Amino acid sequence: MTDPKQERSRATRQRLLETTIRCLAEHGWEVSTVGFIAAEAGISRGAVQHHFRTREALILGALEHMFEERAALLDALPDPESGPDRIHTVVTGLVEAIGGELFRAALQVWTVAAADPELRSAVVPLERRFARGVHRRAVRLLRVNDSDPEMRGLIQATLDLARGLALADVLTDDSHRRARVVRAWSTQLAAALAAAGAAPSR
Amino acid sequence: MTDPKQERSRATRQRLLETTIRCLAEHGWEVSTVGFIAAEAGISRGAVQHHFRTREALILGALEHMFEERAALLDALPDPESGPDRIHTVVTGLVEAIGGELFRAALQVWTVAAADPELRSAVVPLERRFARGVHRRAVRLLRVNDSDPEMRGLIQATLDLARGLALADVLTDDSHRRARVVRAWSTQLAAALAAAGAAPSR
């Protein structure tokens, strides 16, 4: 049986991390102090400090949590049957999982880290690990041979495109334009994957 | 003849805008106050306020200046002769012009604007105008038929990819990976443009 006190503590930690992500995405870095996040989560500052001793620890914990959420989104994507629209469905799923609130929250952290060497040195190893996890999932979903450097480059390009599209959605609702861009990209990617599949010894 | 006083005033304004961009890119939003930028530029606060009455006006002026700088970079790109590497050369030039210090400075403004409706409403119309200018230049450089929706989607995808690559370069030097991604995408884009050129009635 789970200790009810441990269970409560885990639920508090979870609520705190989700509130941190929402606060960063909606209110930005400057507003998202420990005091503001604690109040938004309905948790005392003391309880916050029990879980995370410093603001930096809370922010890094939230980044880790964002990645777990995104990984869960990617793992939950349906694996469509082969067919002309398979690549389009997968790319749409990747773009949705990489963008949205998780992206907007992470953007706040990256942007501050860009001009803050201490935060940057804490964020970079996390980001490397996250990037590997997303890449691995994209390879699985797209069913490509990742040892082919050209295919590897196209997977990376697709993930860079997804981040560029997420950025374009930060100031305005870009969903209509994004759907067209994803469609155009998917058509090219499907052609490239078909050509690589047809010439595996290449 | 130019009035020497006007000339000096213009040079001061120029130095102020360039310093604002450098400060945003290197030190970030929070540090880049009017006082900090004035000190970095060696200009009195009074002189800054003569040119820009508020911090917001200075930041928006710097955004406009960033776009003019980027447009100048794009207009100065060599227009390579036809050949197998033409698209690769153009895409590399686009990616370089969209990234770098101008991107890092703009990222600071976008990220704050994402959580600040007042700043956002000032930034969005500027960004729309900038995006149109960059798109027009990309169409010219790539020599594509922009009225073909599929081609238009591929141009936009290329520019979104460029922004995604610029973002990936903010925390670490991503130049080696970026070169491979640009190569992989350029190969696809060249094939798509060749196919569209071979079937113009499509």
CB contacts < 8 Å between A and B, how many? Answer: 143
Instruction: Look up residue B66 and give its amino acid.
Output: M
Least CB-CB distance to B170: which of A30, A110, A156?
A: A110
**Tens digits of per-residue pLDDT, A96-153?**
999 999 999 999 999 999 999 999 999 999 999 999 999 999 999 999 988 999 999 9
In sequence order, which ranges of A42-116 are alpha helices (DSSP H)?
45-51, 55-75, 86-98, 100-114
Residue B77's CB: how many other CB atoms inside 10 A? Answer: 17
ipTM for the assembly: 0.93
Residue B113 identity: A
CA gap A150, A156 in Å, rounded: 10
Nearest residue, CB atoms, B161 vs list A29, A30, A161: A161
Q: Minimal Cα distance from A195: which residue of B?
A: B188
- Partners of A122 on chain B (C-beta within 8 Å) are none
Q: Which domains does chain A have, with CATH numbers?
A: 4-198 (1.10.357.10)
How confident is the model over B57-104, as pLDDT tens digits?
Answer: 999 999 999 999 999 999 998 877 777 799 999 999 999 999 999 999
Confidence of residue B1 (pLDDT cuts 50, 70, 90): low
Q: Does A39 touch chain B (CB under 8 A)?
A: no
Polymer length of chain B: 202
Residues of A in contact with B114 (CB under 8 A): 28, 104, 107-108, 170-171
Q: What is the DSSP letter of A172?
A: S
Does B24 score more than 50 pLDDT?
Answer: yes
Going by C-beta distance under 8 Å and a sequence separation of 6 or more, which residues neighbour residue A75?
A: A137
List, as ranges, residues 101-160 from A with C-beta within 8 Å of B: 104, 107-108, 110-116, 120, 123-124, 127, 149-150, 152-154, 156-157, 159-160
